[in-house]
Amino acid sequence: TPRVFSGIQPSGGLTLGNYLGAMKRFVDMQDEGSFQTVYCMVDLHAITAKFQDPATLRHNTRELAAGFIAAGIDPAKSILINQSQVPEHAQLAWIFNCVARMGWMGRMTQWKDKAGKNAEAASLGLFAYPALMAADILIYHATHVPVGEDQKQHLELTRDIATKFNHDYGVDFFPLTEPVIEGAATRVMSLRDGSKKMSKSDPSDASRINLTDDADAIAKKIRKAKTDPDALPSEVEGLKDRPEARNLVNIYAALNDQTVEQVLADVGGQQFGSFKPLLAELAVAKMSPISTRMAELMADTAEIDRILAHGATQAREITAPILKKTYEIVGMVG
C-alpha cells in the first residue's frame, strides 16, 4: 500500500488554515482507504523558530493530538505520533544534513521569511528544518504528502535530497515524494491582509480563526474581516484582484465541501453584509464540534499519551528497518 505522511507543528494553537489546508485533507486521505496514513506532531520542528516554554510545548503537543483526533483522525486507522518519540526521524535527518547543500537550504523562502534580515541570530535548526522534514517523510518511504501550498518548495527539496542520496550511493532506495495540494483552501489568507497567509504566529489574533475560538469569537472575526466594497461576483473571474473576497469564498467552499463555482452560483450578487453572517454560521457549525471534542479529550491527557505511545511503537516497526538499511548503505558498521 502506498504510504502518506504529513505533520503539523505544535508551535501554537491550530488555525483554520492548518485545518482546511492540511488536517481536513489528512482525514480525507485516511478515510479514502487506498493509503496507509501516518500523521505527526512535529515537536522537533516547533523549537526551531523561537524559544518554546517547555510546559507550553508539552501542552500544545497534547492539544494538537486532541485536535487531530477531534478532526477525525482515528488512531485505529492512522498511525498518530509525536516526532521526538520516534528517534529515527532525527537520526535520518543527520544523514540528510550531510546530503543537502547549504545553497539549497539558503534558497528556501520559509527560511528567508522566518530568519528575516537577521540570519546570524537564527538557529541552525531553522536553517536545517527542510532536511528534518525530508527525513520525516522518507523514514516511512512515504510517496504522498498532503500539505498547504506554502510547503511545495520543501517537498521539492525532499525530492532533491532523495535523488542525490540515491545517486551518490548508487541505489534506488528513497522514493520521489509527491505533494498533494488539493481543495478550495490550499492557501488560507489572513483575515486582516489578503496578501499574507493565515498563520499561528501572526501577532494579530484577529488575523486568524483558531480551532479553540468560541462561536462569538468566530462570528466577530469574520464580521471584522477585511473586504472590498463590491458585491460578490457570480463567476470565478470576478474574484481576480480581490484577494480578500477570494479568501472568504475559498474558506466557505472548503468548509462546505463545494467548489468555488458552486458557492458563487449561490451567493453571487450578495453584499458582504449578508455573506459574512452565512460564512460565520457555517464556520461555527463545522468548527464547534471539533473544539468541543478537543476540550473533552484534553480532560484526560493520560489517554492522549497512551495513544501517542502506541503510535510510536507502530511507527518504529516501519522506521527502524529503514534507518538500519540507510546506515548499511552509507557504510556505518553495526
Q: Are 43 and 60 in contact (CB under 8 A)?
A: no
Question: How far is residue 153's CA from residue 8's CA, in Å, rounded to a whole number?
Answer: 16
Query: For residues 130-149, which are near ligand AQP according to CB under 6 A?
Result: 147-148
User: What are the φ and ψ backbone dihedral angles of 193, each rounded to 5 degrees?
Assistant: -155, 105
Does residue number 290 form part of the binding site for ligand AQP (CB under 6 A)?
no
Please work out the total of residues on this chain that contact ligand AQP, with binding judged by CB under 6 A: 21
- Selected range binding ligand AQP among 5-13, 167-175, 265-273, 324-332, rule: CB under 6 A: 5-13
Query: For residues 168-207, which are near ligand AQP according to CB under 6 A?
Result: 186-188, 197-201
Q: Which of 11, 82, 85, 177 binds ligand AQP (CB under 6 A)?
A: 11
- 82 - beta bridge partners? 41
Cell of 60: 500544545
114 in active site: yes
- Selected range binding ligand AQP among 16-24, 85-93, 98-106, 170-178, rule: CB under 6 A: 16-24
Residue nearest to ligand AQP (CB): 21
- Selected range binding ligand AQP among 18-26, 31-39, 99-107, 211-219, rule: CB under 6 A: 18-26
User: What are the φ and ψ backbone dihedral angles of 141, each rounded to 5 degrees?
Assistant: 50, 40
Of 30, 317, 38, 330, which Cα lies nearest the Cα of 177?
Answer: 38
Question: How far is residue 235's CA from residue 221's CA, in Å, rounded to a whole number?
Answer: 26
Q: Are 7 and 41 in contact (CB under 8 A)?
A: yes
117 is in an annotated binding site: no
Amino acid identity, position 20: L
201 is in an annotated binding site: yes
The one catalytic residue among 77, 196, 200, 220: 200
164 in active site: no
CA distances 314 to 58, 93, 330, Å, are 22, 20, 25
Q: Which of 28, 150, 156, 281 binds ligand AQP (CB under 6 A)?
A: 150
241 is in an annotated binding site: no
54 is in an annotated binding site: no
User: Grid cell 505522511 — which residue?
Assistant: 5
Question: How far is residue 183's CA from residue 21's CA, in Å, rounded to a whole number?
Answer: 8
| Binding residues for ligand AQP (CB under 6 A) | 8-9, 11-12, 15, 17-18, 21-22, 147-148, 150-151, 186-188, 197-201
The residues annotated with a catalytic role in the active site are 114, 197, 200
Binding site membership for ATP: which residues? 9-11, 17-18, 148-150, 188, 197-201
Binding site membership for L-tryptophan: which residues? 136
